A and B are shown apart, each in its own frame.
Chain A
């Protein structure tokens, strides 16, 4: 229930602003109805695509970060697949990666504290020694 996903999708470049907002709000309501939580919605604007997708050379990128179960993403992907203006999407699971990054940051912070204050070296000396 605490999986974090990042969903990036590309919308047709000739789509109006209001339609985009409508699509995004539909997705957001789907997330909340499935018991998830939308973390952020980022519009990355119009970009040139690296290759032609459905005869389009440009596309509007949207990045949606949400927290929820796997079934939630399944439902979102299904909606994106049937929706006509969306031409491509990619879902990435980021909670494991986030855990790894936080762990590395914690180790680095502990190491920095140990190097700056020798008095705290006893307490901070244990985590780096345990992990190293």
Chain B
């Protein structure tokens, strides 16, 4: 019985793996041209394996800071920071907002500084 299940598991992983491989070179081309799009690697693979019909997230989100060329992310402009903070006060992950890595790092340290000086809450409602 265990052998059967192992064989079945092996075949399903193979079936999902092959459609992923030819798509990867396309994705890297698009990625190199523009900004690094988040959620490409593991969330895409996990979605394909779990969903079955859906392959990737297909999000064409771009980094807001790269597009508008905002270089300085200050802890003082609460309105800008609040866009990246959830209702509960948590920092929204990069794969949902589409921010690129260096900007996400700076944004998160700005949010933490704002929290320390009581401009943003540590924990909101939830």
A residues near B, CB below 8 A?
8, 10, 47, 49-51, 53, 59, 63, 88-90, 92, 97, 100-101, 104
Interface of A: prevailing SS: strand
Q: B117 touching A88 by the CB < 8 A rule?
A: yes
A59 to B119, CA, bound (A): 11
B97 at the interface (CB under 8 A from A): no
Select B72's contact among A49, A51, A101, beta carbons within 8 Å: A101
A104 to B121, CA, bound (A): 32
Q: A50 touching B116 by the CB < 8 A rule?
A: no
Who on chain A is nearest to B117 by CB? A90
Q: Which chain A residues border B113 with CB–CB below 8 Å?
A: 90, 92
Interface of B: prevailing SS: loop
B: interface residue count bin: 10 to 19
A92 to B116, CA, bound (A): 12
Q: B118 touching A97 by the CB < 8 A rule?
A: no
Can you show 27 pairs from A to B with CB atoms below 8 A apart?
A8-B76, A8-B117, A10-B117, A47-B119, A49-B118, A50-B118, A50-B119, A50-B120, A50-B121, A50-B122, A51-B118, A51-B121, A51-B122, A53-B118, A59-B118, A63-B76, A88-B117, A88-B118, A89-B117, A90-B113, A90-B116, A90-B117, A92-B75, A92-B113, A101-B71, A101-B72, A104-B71
In the complex, how many angstroms separate the beta carbon of B5 from the nearest chain A beta carbon? 52
B residues near A, CB below 8 A?
71-72, 75-76, 113, 115-122
A100 to B75, CA, bound (A): 17
Q: Which chain B residues border A101 with CB–CB below 8 Å?
A: 71-72
In the complex, how many angstroms separate the beta carbon of A85 from the nearest chain B beta carbon? 15
By Cβ-Cβ distance, the 7 closest A-B pairs, closest first, are A50-B121, A49-B118, A90-B117, A50-B118, A51-B121, A50-B120, A104-B71
In the complex, how many angstroms separate the beta carbon of A64 from the nearest chain B beta carbon? 13
A90 to B117, CA, bound (A): 6
A2 to B119, CA, bound (A): 29
Q: Which chain A residues border B121 with CB–CB below 8 Å?
A: 50-51
